[in-house]
Amino acid sequence: EIVMTQSPATLSVSPGERATLSCRASQSVSSKLAWYQQKPGQAPRLLIYGASTRATGIPARFSGSGSGTEFTLTISSLQSEDFAVYSCQQYNNWYTFGQGTKLEIK
Amino acid sequence: EVQLVETGGGLIQPGGSLRLSCTASGFTVSSNYMSWVRQAPGKGLEWVSLLYSGGSTYYTDSVKGRFTISRDNSKNTLYLQMNSLRAEDTAVYFCARLNHEGDYFAYWGQGTLVTVSS
């Protein structure tokens, strides 16, 4: 099983600032990596697939990068609606998710 | 508009059974890869089961032999039959539609809570 590890567990950032979230795979997943946003009591929402392709309707302030075992989700200028939990998911070998990074208001 | 609505969750004793339903609208369940994903309290997401459009089924190891994924084409509904439930099956269960290649989870329902406890 491919283990996905996200860091940090919690990230405190002020609105308008940049947030950088990390995701590491225990073995290479090529670019088969997706990112999701989840707010309390809501369904996850697909943000990024293929490590760097934004899903339909996702604002340009969200960007993904990386390949192999190291991936990054960057939110360039945080809006109030962006404070949520973010999870990465690999689909190179079945499906496994990271434990999530909680992005909170500083 | 794609919509997924899960029902059927609740409180069940260990060893019991429960069937979850996921009613879809805006697309045809039988033409898509469909999955169940769960999230235990305070934990990350965990893939549970997958149903290919062709009918093949797949499960994570911890539920093999206990859970069964299926669909009713006439009702455009996905199911998860859960037997021999354990405390560690306690979670919010999400229904999800994957992309056309079956890679990532493009659409999700709101989830239904299953609590296994005596």
For A26-70, the DSSP string reads: SS--TT-EEEEEE-TTS--EEEEETTTEEPTT--TTEEEEEETTE
B106 chain-A contacts, CB cut-off 8 A: 46, 55
Name the residue of chain A whose CA is nearest to B108's CA.
A43
The pLDDT tens digits of the residues spanning A15-51 come to 999 999 999 999 999 999 999 999 988 899 999 999 9
CA Rg value for chain A:
13
Note down pLDDT in tens along chain B; length 118 residues.
Answer: 999 999 999 999 999 999 999 999 999 999 999 999 999 999 999 999 999 999 999 999 999 999 999 999 999 999 999 999 999 999 999 999 999 998 999 999 999 999 999 9
> In angstroms, rounded to a whole number, what is the distance separating the alpha carbons of residues B18 and B52?
22
CB contact under 8 A, B110 and A42: yes
Cβ contacts of A81 within 8 Å, gap of 6 or more: none
> In angstroms, rounded to a whole number, what is the distance separating the alpha carbons of residues B25 and A24?
35
Name the residue of chain A whose CA is nearest to B106's CA.
A46
Collapsing DSSP to helix, strand or coil, B63 comes out as helix
B64 chain-A contacts, CB cut-off 8 A: none
